[in-house]
Chain A
Amino acid sequence: MTKELSNKVISIKPSGIRKFFDLVSEMKDVISLGVGEPDFDTPWHIREEGIYSLEKGRTFYTSNSGLKPLRQEISNYIKRTQNIIYNPDNEIMVTVGGSEAIDIGIRALVNDGDEVIIPQPSYVSYEPCTILANAKPVIINLKAENDFRLTPQELINSITNKTKILVLPYPNNPTGAIMERSDLEKISKILIEKDIYVLSDEIYSELTYKNKHVSIASIEGMQERTILINGFSKSYAMTGWRLGYACAPKDIISQMVKIHQFTIMCAPTTSQYAAVSALKNGDNDVNVMRQSYNQRRRFLLNAFKEMNVECFEPFGAFYVFPSIKEFGMTSEEFAEKLLKEEHIAAVPGSAFGQSGEGHLRISYAYSIEKLKTAMERFNHFVQKLRK
């Protein structure tokens, strides 16, 4: 073939994480701190429900927007955790992971040339999804001194008359930052005044270690302009099941369902049956996992403190985001050196946007024993560099 491929796709850079992965996979005895997924197994009652559905032969398509009982459970869940009412019939849809919801949420809202504000460091897909939807990403470089929260001023500075969506990625991957109610209230005022939609990616909502997570959709006047995205991957350790969902006003959901219908059909049926059990009987599993993550979080923060490595205290997700600026290397150089010399894999902060430069994403989805060995090696590395 000689005809060229899509210029737009060609122009998109592959994820920085991928590049690093190729490097890691050549090495042996690597202790990885690089995963963005829980180390826990999916709780057995959830897996068992999936198995049971297979035994029963429930292997057909579900309705496009997802199993009715699952949508009902999602509606109940959002009601009991956020006190927001979504009608399971037309305001909730089940997607293939939160990532599909991000993609089709953006696609359902933007016209050519619309601007999508993306605070970074953040998950790697918002920017390419925006570009693929013919919209223009407008990046906000979040600052460590604000604990990587989005400030009203930063938001105002990025708004133009073309602004259509604000992506709100909290609790945040990779920084572990959260936005509390008071932060959200200030942001909401601006969004309402400027009439901007919000794509709120709340996939880590169950993993917060200060107060309970607050959804921006629960702030007055926000539900009508918010696509709330959540899923099962992080809270119930179900990454491989590929199951997420979106809640939004019915006008938006009906457009999203159209894209979903023609590209995906429906989310995996087995996963949907399993997820019903997750929402019905999984609260305790989440509590146990959260407590364990919190212990590891404290362990890592203390380890960095003892090494004298600067690290703000994250209150969400399962990452810490220490600064490595003092060593005068880019985060990619640092991560590469750390990998080669100490066999520890951590993701360079720059993979999550330019403002992640000078940081490292360290995941604590590992056992304490593993983290302990890793921190001993990390300490050895840091002492060596400081000599």
Chain B
Amino acid sequence: MREEMLSILEKNGRIGLKDLAVMLGISEIEAANEMAEMEKEGIICAYHTLIDWEKTSIEKVTALIEVRVTPQRGQGFDSMAERIYNYPEVRAVYLISGGFDLLVILEEKSLREIANFVSEKLSTLDSVLSTATHFILKKYKDHGTILSKKNSDEREIITP
């Protein structure tokens, strides 16, 4: 049941409690309790909205930055990750296997701001060995949603 609830919420965080309960075949109270419980356990962390900023007039630049760092004794990569993710302009930080260690996703208003962040804040951190910055040119699909997809139903209206 949890898994099913989560998969509904992951697709539609705005779903009403009543609809959610009906779709799962449970009572509203059960649904509310389960959600509250999962929020408390930190399974449900936040409810976001997926926005295609490109369709607005607001400028946003997103970059993926590969970061190689020296792990800290006794803390591995965690303390380094923390120093990076505490910057509010950092959208995401992942520990990655392979050729580099941390993947940082950064969102800023301009290219210059990203450049500043990388050269002044990120590269200057003691244990950062190197960085490689990739700018995102276009988002096709995000969080499982195809951004350019039109919602047209091409089926015949009545079929047997």
- The interface of chain A, by Cβ under 8 A from chain B, is 15, 17, 20-21, 24-25, 30, 32, 34-37, 39, 123-125, 173, 239, 291, 295-296, 298-299, 302, 345, 347, 368, 372
Contact = CB atoms under 8 A, between A and B. Distances in A.
A124 B160 contact: yes
Contacts of B155: 32, 35, 37, 39
B157 A368 contact: no
Contacts of A25: 157
Contacts of B22: 298-299, 302
Report which residue of A35, A123, A299 has the largest number of chain B beta carbons within 10 angstroms of its beta carbon: A35
B158 A32 contact: yes
Nearest to A21: B158
A372 B22 CA distance: 12
Contacts of B7: 291
Given A298-B24, A368-B23, A17 B4 contact: no
Q: How large is the interface on B (under 10, 10 to 19, 20 to 34, 35 or more residues)?
A: 10 to 19
B8 A295 contact: yes
A17 B159 CA distance: 7
Contact of A345 (B8, B24, B153, B157): B157
B23 to A, nearest CB: 4
A18 B52 CA distance: 41
Contacts of B157: 21, 24-25, 30, 32, 34-35, 345
Given A39-B153, A291-B4, A295-B8, A24 B158 contact: yes
Contacts of B158: 17, 20-21, 24, 32, 34-35, 345, 347
Contacts of B19: 299, 368, 372
Contacts of A295: 4, 8, 23-24
A165 B23 CA distance: 39
Given A291-B4, A368-B19, A36 B24 contact: no
B25 A298 contact: yes
Contacts of B24: 295, 298
Nearest to A16: B160
B41 interface: no
A21 B156 contact: yes
A136 to B, nearest CB: 23
Nearest to A365: B155
A239 B156 CA distance: 12
29 contacts: A17-B159, A17-B160, A21-B158, A24-B157, A24-B158, A25-B157, A32-B153, A32-B155, A32-B158, A34-B159, A35-B155, A35-B156, A35-B158, A37-B155, A39-B153, A39-B155, A124-B160, A125-B160, A291-B4, A291-B7, A295-B23, A298-B22, A298-B23, A298-B25, A299-B22, A345-B158, A347-B158, A368-B19, A368-B23
